[in-house]
Amino acid sequence: MYLVNEERLEKMKKILYTRQDTLRVFMDYVYSPHNLAAIVRTCDAVNVGKLYYRHQKKVKLNNEITMGAHKWIFHEYIDDIEKFYQDIKKEGYQVVVTLLDEDTVDFREVDYTKPTLIVLGNEVDGASETSIKYADKKVIIPMYGMSQSLNVSVANAVILYEAQRQRSLKGMYDKPQLTEEIIQKTLKKWAYKDIIEKELRRVRHKKN
């Protein structure tokens, strides 16, 4: 049983059936609320499989930061970055880090139809040494003006839409990447459990 109308339910199904489980993003100490919100919303727009993040101080993605976009993205806080990279490599993901280095390539030269983790460094120092150590591809977005780099949230959007373009051309949005079990479990959460919880919070707030 679902607590949403048919149109809303179909929208939820479409999100899950087109979700790119093998395209993921890791925010490596990104801390600006504005950047966090922009990155989350772009990840939602491209329908990435999962968004990982870590901060000096553990924070929670919430409505205040993401305007609700985080509700539709699978996201996870990372405590142990070394283990995280070791596990993602075992799963066959290529790690793509934005970095100006001697072996950096144009971001469009990467094959994003492969299982890919895009790593975004923080606004001041860029990607951490650990992220650089595990990078399979170091990419740059060409700049022809005075600025040397784009804002991290803008860079994320540029790279993700190149990934979306490549995957669309290959028909990867036309067939599900998630298992039917995960799809049904998520639908139950979005269209039933989350609505019940929201109503309970509303009632408690009204009482207080």
116 is in an annotated binding site: no
Which pLDDT belongs to residue 65?
A: 57
Res 70 pLDDT > 80: no
Which pLDDT belongs to residue 32?
A: 81
Residues of the chain with pLDDT > 70, as a percent, come to: 93
For the question of whether the overall pTM of this predicted structure is more than 0.85, the answer is: yes
Alpha helices in the chain (DSSP H): 6-18, 33-46, 63-66, 81-90, 129-133, 152-169, 180-188, 194-207
User: Which CATH number is 23-174's, of 2.170.190.11, 3.40.1280.10, 3.20.80.10, 3.30.2310.20?
Assistant: 3.40.1280.10
Which pLDDT belongs to residue 82?
A: 96
Res 201 pLDDT > 80: no
182 is in an annotated binding site: no
Q: Sheet containing 116-121: which strands, arranged edge to edge?
A: 75-77, 48-54, 20-28, 116-121, 94-98, 137-140, 105-106
* Domain range summary for the chain, segments of one domain joined by +: 23-174
Q: Which two tokens stand for residue 100?
A: 């100006």
Model confidence pLDDT, tens digit, residues 105-118: 999 999 999 999 99
Q: Which two tokens stand for residue 15?
A: 């999100």
Model confidence pLDDT, tens digit, residues 132-180: 999 999 999 998 998 878 899 999 999 999 999 999 999 999 999 999 9
150 is in an annotated binding site: yes
- Residue 184 CA to residue 180 CA, distance in Å, equals 6
Which pLDDT belongs to residue 125?
A: 85
Supply the DSSP string of 47-83, one letter for each residue.
TEEEEEEE-SS-----HHHHTTGGGGS-EEE-S-HHH
- Residue 30 CA to residue 93 CA, distance in Å, equals 21
Model confidence pLDDT, tens digit, residues 33-67: 788 888 999 999 999 999 999 875 555 565 655 66
Which pLDDT belongs to residue 19?
A: 98
For 93-115, give one letter per residue: b (16+ CB within 10 A) or e: bbbbbbbeeeeeeebeebebbeb
